[in-house]
Amino acid sequence: MADADRKDTPEQAEFRTYCQDWLAHNHPGKPPVRIPLGALELSDPKALTWLQAWQKSAFDAGLVGCDYPVEFGGGGRKNCQTIANQEMQRAKTPFFPNIIGLGMAAPTVLFHAQDSVKSDLLPRLFSGEDIWCQGFSEPGAGSDLANQQTFAERRGDSWVINGHKVWTSLAHFASWMILLCRTDKSDKYNGLSYFVVPIQTAIGKGVTVRPLIKMTGETGFNEVIFEDLVVEDRYRLDAVGAGWKVAMTTLSHERGAGELVTPAAGGMTQEDTKGANTGSPSALIELAKNSYRNGKTAADDPLIRDEIVKMMIRQEAFRQNQRRALVPQLIDHPMRIPLQNKLIGTEFNQDLAEIAYAIEGPASSLYLNDDNAPGGGEWQLAYMNSFGVTIAAGANEVQRNILAERVLGMPKSK
């Protein structure tokens, strides 16, 4: 992205300087506990609390929600979130813990909720005081998202919700959930409605959260069971039956194809987070220079070198794609690049982590609980976790359908 941040508008330039100054004096410093690779891997409450404090300080300083209206807790600026994001990256800050809130809930609430709900919920969402989770996936509704069975039944001025959600990351920490569910069994797509529902305050009163354990041994995502949860009608987003349309707002922002840029910090290095730095080819080079395959330095193996370079090319191409996506005269279809991002990003991380096995040789057998594990065993953790994302939010097979159908105009596969 390094290139795209040149030639700012006056407002952007002024704001950039402000961010730089603020970050110079308000970087949270090193965390007291190990911070995982991303918010979805959060399982240690201490890590969460520390990250929430960081998000709040950034929000108070105006670096979160910059482009949102002032009346809903935003900064009221124009195209400035991207500036804040760039500077936070450059300052190597920690990430924000409320990733689902910022990336999916906020834009959906902004575009589809009534104003009183916006002003009630968005400020604490931006500050990270409220963590949000996403109630989309169900046992029978994975890639086939519209196959929702969770049912909301109207009772006067409120709704009674029953059903079963799975793979809900962060539910064990969440105050609120964005919920897609069914209000009409007779119509697959037009029978869906969209709500924001309380979780923490409703536990034991219609909401049960059960942790699921990943193949990595980590917790982090959950089953959420609704039994007669009562929700006020004001928490419905958009019309009854418009749930699918609202969900598209959520998903387009998740795919980085939405109108609003998601507030995103990050860039903190491995040493600083006491955790992994497994997201980049340069980390792989580092690993290769310090690992042995069959007694020889892995970084000298021509096949390993070629694998790493392939990843560096993909990384640079991804950056330059994002840069090009902002130049109208250089893109023929507005969704062509944005709709690629989820696919490319998740497969990039999977392929990157897989190369670490070849680099580490027999030491690739070692895990986080072994002091001799190269890179602390984080590469193996990252490889296994990478499947969480190639599967989730519309498996990548579905992403390819979407690209073929929406961008290339090929016939629907279903």
Partner 1 sequence: MIEQPKNFGFGEDETMLRDSAAKFFSDHCTPDKIHRQVANNSNIHRNIECIWDKTLWQQITDLGWTAACVPEAAGGIGMPLVAAVALAEEAGRAAFPSPLISTFNATFVLRECQTANANAALAEIASGTPMTLAITNQRGSWEPSDTDVLVDNGQLSGTAWFVQDARKAEGLIVSARSAAGVGLYYVAANAAGVLMTADGIIDLTRDQAHISFSGVNAIEVAAPGQGEIALAHALPAIQVVLAADMVGAGEWLLQTTVEYTNTRIQFDRPLGFFQAVKHPLVNVMLDIDRAKSLAYSAACAIDSDPERKDWATTLKLAHMAKANASDMAVFASSRAVQFHGGIGFTWECYVHLFFKRQMHNQMLFGDAKYHRALLADMLIGKAV
Of the candidates 361, 242, 244, the one whose C-alpha atom is nearest the C-alpha of residue 301 is 361
d(CA 79, CA 84) in angstroms, rounded, equals 10
Is residue 100 at the binding interface for partner 1, with CB under 8 A as the rule? no
The answer to whether 182 and 192 have CB atoms below 8 angstroms apart is yes
Q: Which long-range contacts (CB under 8 A, 24 or more apart) does 110-119 make?
A: 110/68, 110/69, 110/72, 110/260, 111/249, 112/194, 112/237, 112/238, 112/242, 112/246, 112/249, 113/196, 113/237, 114/234, 115/71, 115/72, 116/234, 117/196, 117/234, 117/235, 118/72, 119/71, 119/72, 119/73
Q: Which two structure tokens, joined as six digits, stand for 116?
A: 């009183």
d(CA 393, CA 389) in angstroms, rounded, equals 7
Q: Which two structure tokens, joined as six digits, stand for 395?
A: 């498996």
Specify the residue, 111 or 318, whose C-beta has the smaller distance to partner 1.
318
Specify the residue, 257 or 344, whose C-beta has the smaller distance to partner 1.
344
Binding positions for partner 1, 1-20, rule CB under 8 A: 2-4, 6-7
Is residue 310 at the binding interface for partner 1, with CB under 8 A as the rule? yes
Give the residue, chosen from 85, 98, 137, 349, that forms a contact with partner 1 under the rule CB under 8 A.
Answer: 137
Of the candidates 370, 213, 273, 310, the one whose C-alpha atom is nearest the C-alpha of residue 51 is 273
* Contact string 338-357 vs its own copies (x = CB under 8 A): --------------------
Is residue 143 at the binding interface for partner 1, with CB under 8 A as the rule? yes
217 binds, among its own copies, partner 1, none (CB under 5 to 8 A by kind): partner 1
> Which is catalytic among the residues 254, 307, 360, 378?
254
Cross-strand pairs, 132: 176
Specify the residue, 127 or 350, whose C-beta has the smaller distance to partner 1.
350
* Contact string 297-326 vs its own copies (x = CB under 8 A): -----xx--x--------------------
153 as an active site residue: the answer is no
Contact range with partner 1 by CB under 8 A, out of 24-32, 45-53, 243-251, 369-377: 369-377
299 binds, among its own copies, partner 1, none (CB under 5 to 8 A by kind): partner 1
C-beta atoms surrounding 342 within 10 Å = 22
Task: Determine the residue type at 86.
Answer: Q
Is residue 382 at the binding interface for partner 1, with CB under 8 A as the rule? no
Is residue 196 at the binding interface for partner 1, with CB under 8 A as the rule? no
25 binds, among partner 1, its own copies, none (CB under 5 to 8 A by kind): none
Shortest reach from residue 268's CB to partner 1, in Å? 21
70 binds, among partner 1, its own copies, none (CB under 5 to 8 A by kind): none
Shortest reach from residue 413's CB to partner 1, in Å? 6
Give the residue, chosen from 117, 192, 308, 353, that forms a contact with partner 1 under the rule CB under 8 A.
Answer: 308
Of the candidates 234, 252, 232, 263, the one whose C-alpha atom is nearest the C-alpha of residue 108 is 252
Task: Determine the residue type at 354.
Answer: E
Shortest reach from residue 366's CB to partner 1, in Å? 6
User: Footprint of its own copies on this chain (CB under 8 A)?
Assistant: 302-303, 306
**Residues with active-site annotation:** 254
